[in-house]
Amino acid sequence: MSRRKPASQEEAKTRVVSINPATMEVIGEMPMSTPEDVKQAIRAAQKAFGGWARLGVAARAQYLLRARDYILDHMDDVTTTISMDTGKPMVEALNAEVMVVVDLITQYAKRAVRLLEDDPLPLTNPVIRMTKSSKIVYQPLGVVSVVSPWNYPFSLAMSGIIFALLAGNTVVFKPSTEVAVVGKKIEEIFTKGAVLPAGVLNMIVAAGSSVGTAIFEPPVQKIVFTGSTAVGKWIQQVAAKHFIPTVMELGGKDPMIVLDDADLEMASSGAVWGAFTNCGQVCSSVERVYVARSIYDRFVQLVEAKTKKLRIGSGLDFGVDMGPMISLDQLGVVENQVMDAIAKGAKVVTGGKRPEHLNGYFYEPTVLTQVNHDMKVMRDETFGPVLPIMPFEAEDEAVQLANDSIYGLTASVWTRDRSRAESIARRIQAGTVAVNDHAYTYGLPETPWQGMKESGTGVSHSDRGLLEFVYPQHLHLDHSPAIMKRRLWWYPYSKEAYEIQKMATDAFARTKNLPRFLANAFLNGKYRKTLF
């Protein structure tokens, strides 16, 4: 769905209209892909796969480096496009989107060459080792579908595309229609900047209701999806019918635990940034805070004061700290959760409404106290600028509260005691737990991004993330001399074959018997016929 109401239902089926959610200005229109367009994109990717895979990692990396250089040469244009299509501040568009992609390409254009080299496997059986060798070769999978969201439309989309292409796969890319203009910018980077061969990257513009299941079925061999848990479950069901593996980053309800010895100035600043960056529309944002009772009041005071200083407005204004929400629908989700919390006894410390002086999809950064786990705002993903704060009495209670969720993406622990922090972090059910920081590690290409429970499956970023896009094929090679016509385990079976295998079992378990076994196997005529 587009954010501007189409002129008619017919227009909604055929065109995507993008607006700046801060100004309501139309910034682009493009045709909606038809079901035939989707099939054509998949066919093109399938046709291009063989040639792209045969290029080798180093040659493919050069294409990616050209894409990186195009981004660097057009950095202001790329950053402005992201800010206009999402409403986020220019600083966030640069450091959380553009810089992440540039760093990812720079690191892995070199690193992928080494990571995807053939990997010899040591064989411990001395007799087998004399005539055999094994290695893992990393084969590309084929066509990969990358379905990306609207909250970080550049970095999240590019992360999947970059690793898929480096590994030798071809891509069908579907951006969210909320941010189709950013999707077109990505397509431009690869067509004009990298000058990819035809069919290697194929973009489609389609809403979930119209795309069908084609990009989640064969010949697609891998699915990369970032979005809601509900949609992720539906895609997983489709993929499971064909045993297609997936990498999914889904919902989050990420906790922040502030211990009694925490630096309150730092922790309160971290909470405000972690909750309100990108207007809270971050899968790893601080969505609930648990604070030691002894420091609770002071922590709330600091958070309130810092939240009230945040400047709200158009992301194109460099004096703005927080932009709008992406859509009226998402704004409604946030309002519903805040009203539910208030109805159940929560107190609004600051915020809690739309600012009257702004026309876009804005909502004031909101701090809530007197919250509990009966409220939606403490259970359901908010994905908006709301920060609920709850006290705890003991560490065990804090850990229990943090783990009381169907989600497990990221979390944070705030304390001056590193050993205490690590002890608690190891007990938290989350893919990433940070100490004295929160939410930012997706910006580190070398660290894994992963969720547990209903926050996702598979890994993005890091060496493990790259290996998601290859099949580790085992090659077992024979180096036997031409005179050796048989293998010890082949037909015909015999008493001699049994005896020599019994000796082998004993020899390999007790290496002191190995010389005797080798002498018997290769010098004793009674046994030689089992081998030659």
Identify which has the larger pLDDT, 494 or 335. 335
Tens-place pLDDT, residues 109-139? 999 999 999 999 999 887 788 889 999 999 9
- Active-site residue identified among 283, 304, 364, 395: 283
Cβ atoms of residues 466 and 247 within 8 Å: no
H/E run at residue 501: helix 495-509
Sign of the dihedral through C-alpha 253, 87, 164, 71: negative
Confirm whether 50-250+464-472 and 255-443 share one CATH topology. no
- pLDDT at residue 266, rounded to an integer: 98
State yes or no: pLDDT of 1 exceeds 60: no
Q: For residue 502, name the pLDDT band (cuts at 50, 70, 90).
A: confident
Q: For residue 528, name the pLDDT band (cuts at 50, 70, 90).
A: low
Question: Under DSSP, is residue 34 helix (H, G, I), strand (E, B) or coil?
Answer: coil
State yes or no: pLDDT of 192 exceeds 60: yes
Tens-place pLDDT, residues 362-379? 999 999 999 999 999 999
Q: Where are the domains of the chain?
A: 50-250+464-472, 255-443, 483-528
Distance CA 31, CA 106 (A): 34
Q: Average pLDDT for residues 424-429, to the nearest whole number? A: 98
Q: Order of strands, edge to edge, in the sheet holding 456-457? A: 201-203, 170-174, 143-147, 220-226, 246-249, 456-457
Residue 279 bears catalytic tag = no
The CATH code of the domain at 255-443 is 3.40.309.10
Distance CA 110, CA 500 (A): 49
Tens-place pLDDT, residues 506-526? 877 776 666 666 666 655 665
State yes or no: pLDDT of 150 exceeds 80: yes
Distance CA 372, CA 403 (A): 14
Query: What string of DSSP letters covers 137-181?
Result: EEEE-SEEEEE--SSSTTHHHHHHHHHHHHTT-EEEEE--GGGHH
- pLDDT at residue 507, rounded to an integer: 77
Q: How far is CA 280 from CA 88, 367, 426, in A?
A: 11, 12, 26
Between 3.30.56.10, 3.30.465.10, 3.40.605.10, 3.30.413.10, what CATH number should domain 50-250+464-472 receive? 3.40.605.10
Buried b vs exposed e over 207-234: b needs ≥16 C-beta within 10 Å?
beebbeebbbbeebbbbbbbbebebbee
- For tokens 């017919």, name the residue: 10
Cβ atoms of residues 279 and 324 within 8 Å: yes
In this predicted structure, which of 210-214, 242-246, 314-318, 457-461 has the lowest mean pLDDT? 210-214
- Residue ranges of alpha helices (H) inside 15-125 are 35-54, 57-73, 75-86, 90-93, 99-115
Question: What rounded mean pLDDT belongs to the chain?
Answer: 93
Residue 385 token pair: 């600028």
- pLDDT at residue 508, rounded to an integer: 75
3-state helix, strand and coil shares in percent for the chain, rounded to the nearest 5: 45, 20, 35
- pLDDT at residue 4, rounded to an integer: 43
Residue 249 bears catalytic tag = yes
Cβ atoms of residues 48 and 198 within 8 Å: yes
- Active-site residue identified among 92, 249, 395, 468: 249
